[in-house]
Structure 1
Amino acid sequence: MDFSLTDEQRMLTDTLDRLMADRVTPEQRRAMLEAPAGEHSALWQTFAELGLLHMPFAEKVGGLGGDGTDLMLIMQALGRGLVPDAYLAGLVLPGDLLARLGDTGQRERWLAPLLEGEHQLALAWQENDARYDAHGIATAARRDGARWVLEGGKQLVLNAASAAALLVTARLDDGGLGLFVVPADATGLSRRDYRTIDDQSASDLTLDAVSLSDDACLGRDVAQALDASLALGRAALCAEAVGAMEVACEQTLDYLKERQQFGTPLSAFQSLQHRMVDMHLHLEQARSMAILAAASLDRPAAARDYRLAAAKAYCGEAARFVAEQAIQLHGGMGMTDECYVSHYAKRLVMFDHYLGDADHHLEHVSDHLVDVV
């Protein structure tokens, strides 16, 4: 199989690398994190100007027709830069569902401004008692005349504080799984905002008799579309983890070359060389799994989900291994906020938990091994 990039993809990679180096220094990243919620960064507007917000979407919905490889390249660059902007949570996941399920009016109202950088959205699918099961939800939607009424709660909704609207999954009276666009200022919707350990903006939602118009419903049987969008998100996370692991390995190696003990650089000690080799082995194996994930998005659902589960499980374990080794090889200073590798380590640890951890996905692989193979 040919893994070489096209000329356009190499240009995309070069552009992103320069952008990350110029616009996402440690100081600039801290300023982004300290900005008020809902205030779009200058970097986000640059993404819009460069067409990066259009890239992952098909031309028929206003995108540039990028494929899984294009998304992988973007997410790797964002991982290397440790970009705090919610490209995945605020654009890719909700945008993909709108592209799959929305009618012309719904796409014009919510998707078109999203691709132009005018607002961001968020996907609310996780619930406290469902763990990572996107279908086992308790939030309910019922008809009230010509309107819908939503009752329930959602946990760990990334980017909710900056979203103009939330895409909320809910169980219908007939047992189907529905998806609803809930404006951020809807009556009955309340949020508890917080930061995850890797500085991501997250919220827990309470929906108390939230009344919505009929056109707020994107679909009454969205299970397959939701699975496809979450698969896309897992492929994106694998790529982002690879980018972050690259920098963690680079910074750790630079530290070992610079730091001396008994007049000798730490990089000269064979035991530490072995640990760096282990870090790079995990990185390269994770890179292969990220490529597999990106190449599997167009496969039938069963094969796609099996491969994505295997990729996410391995990348999650590899990310945690690289994070732990980077911290240990830096010593005590690796735990400090001033040591930038600590921020990569926190992000890498959390990669394993977003959209299903390694245990969850290994269980899926085990349960479907015979069916797929």
Structure 2
Amino acid sequence: MVTIYDLAKETGFSAPTVSKALNGTGHLSAKTRDKILEVARKMGYEPNLSARTLSTKKSHLIGVVYDDPKMKRGFDHPLFSVILNRFREQVERAFYDIIFLSHHSTMTYTAHAAYRTVDGVAIINPELEHYDDFKNMASQGMPCVSTNDIIPGVCTLISKNEEIGYKATEYLIENGHKRIGYLSGPWLEYSRAAVEREEGYMRCLKDHGIGIDKDLVEECKYWHMDSGYEGFSRLYKRAPDITAVFVCADLLAMGVYKYAEQKNLSIPQQISIVSVDDDRVSSYLKPSLSTFRQDGEGIADMAAEMLMNQIAGVPVPPIVRFDASLMKRNSVFNLNGKNEEFL
């Protein structure tokens, strides 16, 4: 049976340092902790969970909040499913297990986290009506991270949404478009993605000397295809002269595709589209959808590290932003010149 003393000898670190790495305690660098955990895995170290719980007063359980009643994507969401799977892998490397936290009429998330004695909570895809509960949880000292929305007192890890909006709009401008619409997701206080992407869209238009026309902006009430269809219907009826639209999410963009098909609008010749998420079906749409791929794995890795740091008593930043990459496909028509793929 491999002991912490065997690991200490193999890694060159002291037994107390090895113990801190295995138990997620103490002020260790991520490099040191990762090295010790990697050696522990290779040597087949198996922790005595009962003894460890008694000695550290930790359950080695991480609570996960993952709700999806409005998007109705479950574990198939193009961003949050990646974050969840990668996050699970990372915390398991540190010998933690995850459990899903729930809420109902007699128990809040905070109460459930306390009942299950979790050491920390990852808020991956929450419902807005529970934000006061999450703020309360953090104020009581529970280590928390959020990978979707900005929650006061919670370390948040999200994409550079304003930059996404800017780059999407700039890509359309570079292809000769000037009448560019923005089809937004819900404008919400804590779920800032839609608002920040609009801010990037507006700033880019201004930087390129294109006037701001509020009639070219339309909010969708929900993050799903039907809402995208309805939202684009309102936008296009109000501004039928637009040649392109930046859509806040691929699910909404699929609604635009549906509307275009029903109204005999040609994509991209009559309406060009850039979106966000790189849903796994986006490359199979006809034409394939140009969209921004968010760094789900990077967000998950950092979320796990930030949560482990908090559990160990290490301070963490309030917010960390991540780049997204534009996947250029066939949904944007170049008004400046030749488009060989569409001839």
Find the structure with the greater CA-based Rg: 2
Query: TM-score range, shorter-chain basis?
Result: under 0.3
The answer to which structure has the higher helix fraction is: 1
TM-score normalised by the chain length of structure 2: 0.25
Higher relative contact order at CA 8 Å, sep ≥6: structure 1 or structure 2?
Answer: 2
